[in-house]
Amino acid sequence: MRAVIFGASGLLGRSVMRAFNDMTVTGTGFSRTAPGLARADATSADDIDRLLGRAQPDVVVNCVGERRPQRWAATPDQARDKNVDAARLLAQSTRQCGARLLHISTDYVFDGKAAPYRPDSPPNPLNAYGRWKLLAEHAVRAACPDAAILRLPVLYGPAQFAAETNLTELARQVGARAPVELDDVCVRYPTHTDEAAEVCRWLAGALVRGQRLGAVAHWSAEQGFTKYQMAVLIADRFGLPAGHIRPGEADAVSGDRPIDCRLDCRDLPEALGTVRRHFTTEFPPVVEPWLLPAEPISTLRKDFHAPCV
Ligand SMILES: NC(=O)c1ccc[n+]([C@@H]2O[C@H](COP(=O)([O-])OP(=O)(O)OC[C@H]3O[C@@H](n4cnc5c(N)ncnc54)[C@H](OP(=O)(O)O)[C@@H]3O)[C@@H](O)[C@H]2O)c1
């Protein structure tokens, strides 16, 4: 199988590259380059056509997007281009070259007031990112009707910089020991990028085999946590003080962050349950490099028991 992964330099794309490593795979970066990645601008039809013409893929995975709130606020036009225009152009080119498309979307298309959400639950995004991602879904559907759209919740995994994931940013705040208030109302379902990438792999295979799939699929980890709960868990696991972390409700009262977008994943096959990773066992190696203690962290607490949340 020949695959092209757009956004392969990003958080999810790096895991997807690893999960597809037994295929003939071309990955793209944009501002970040790495050995083996091609540079392509997903907002340029010429760039996309050139790359797909060269790679002749069976399947294209679109991991391009702009999900950082600071960027939506600072450069909304660029963020919209990356989320919506890129999705439309990629869908058009993928269809023209006869490949199948897997497009990545988000649980933020929902308002968080009526979880769990099935793939056909009515979307109602609360913020610009969610609205753009919903517009992107519509654009993908219009340009490439047989594409699969995979909605995912907040992701965590090996990060290149602390702010790359919510979780590693929380780790930095735990380690920094400066007073901080963290939302303790909105529930998130942090899902490991490698787990999401395995689901992408399964979906890509199913698309290429011509297996009938619903237009939209959901995948999510099962454990839900607020940011405050995650921070306390991190502190507890590494035996760090947590007195500087206070529970708050900033996200909930902002009005643009959904309270609980739990995704109902039952439409994907039960066999995929084997790719599940449990947050409480998977998060320590991901956060450890970002705790920024004065001295190295010696050992994990052996008496640590994750609370059931
Ligand atoms: N991270 C999450 O918590 C999360 C949750 C749910 C859904 N998602 C969705 O999952 C997808 C991947 O997210 P992510 O977290 O991996 O994002 P990310 O880490 O920010 O990566 C975004 C990728 O898009 C590339 N890109 C940006 N502008 C581009 C352009 N003009 N042309 C081509 N490529 C461009 C970036 O390349 P450079 O970095 O090289 O510029 C990078 O490879 C997105 O659709 C996102 O909405 C993410």
Is the shortest distance between the CB of 4 and ligand 1 below 6 Å? no
Is the shortest distance between the CB of 79 and ligand 1 below 6 Å? no
Asked whether residue 245 is domain-assigned, the answer is: no
The CATH number linked to 213 is 3.40.50.720
Asked whether residue 131 is domain-assigned, the answer is: yes
93 φ, ψ to 5°? -70, -40
Helix axes 128-143, 86-96, angle to 10 degrees: 20
Ligand 1 centroid to 264 CA: how many Å?
Answer: 23
Ligand 1 centroid to 280 CA: how many Å?
Answer: 25
232 φ, ψ to 5°? -65, -40
Quick one: pLDDT at residue 297? 43
The one-digit pLDDT tens for each residue of the chain (309 residues) are 999 999 999 999 999 999 999 999 999 999 998 889 999 999 999 999 999 999 999 999 999 999 887 888 888 999 999 999 999 999 999 999 999 999 999 999 999 999 999 999 999 999 999 999 999 999 999 999 999 999 999 999 999 999 999 999 999 999 999 999 999 999 999 999 999 999 999 999 999 999 988 899 999 999 999 999 999 999 999 999 999 999 999 999 999 999 999 999 999 888 788 889 999 999 999 999 999 754 444 444 444 443 333
Torsion angle defined by CA atoms of residues 172, 175, 181 and 183, in that order, rounded to the nearest 10 degrees: 60
Nearest to 205 by CA among 272, 277, 137: 272
Report the nearest atom of ligand 1 relative to the CA of 9.
43
- For ligand 1, atom 47, the nearest C-alpha belongs to 65
| Residue entry with tokens 């409700």 | 249
> How many Å apart are CA 152 and CA 193, to the nearest integer?
10
Ligand 1 centroid to 163 CA: how many Å?
Answer: 13
Is the shortest distance between the CB of 64 and ligand 1 below 6 Å? yes
Quick one: pLDDT at residue 306? 38
Report the nearest atom of ligand 1 relative to the CA of 68.
20
Enzyme catalytic residues: 129
Range of the domain at 151: 2-159+191-218
Report the nearest atom of ligand 1 relative to the CA of 166.
3
Is the shortest distance between the CB of 65 and ligand 1 below 6 Å? yes
User: Largest Cα–Cα distance in the chain?
Assistant: 57
Quick one: pLDDT at residue 142? 98
Asked whether residue 302 is domain-assigned, the answer is: no
Asked whether residue 243 is domain-assigned, the answer is: no
Asked whether residue 290 is domain-assigned, the answer is: no
Quick one: pLDDT at residue 295? 41
Quick one: pLDDT at residue 302? 43
| Contacting residues for 270 by C-beta, under 8 A, at least 6 apart | none
Ligand 1 pocket: which of 64, 83, 262 to mutate (most atoms <8 Å of CB)? 64
The terminus-to-terminus CA distance of the chain in angstroms comes to 41
Ligand 1 centroid to 173 CA: how many Å?
Answer: 23
| Contacting residues for 127 by C-beta, under 8 A, at least 6 apart | 69, 72, 108, 256, 257
Quick one: pLDDT at residue 272? 87
Is the shortest distance between the CB of 197 and ligand 1 below 6 Å? no
Quick one: pLDDT at residue 296? 41
Our count of domains for the chain comes to 1
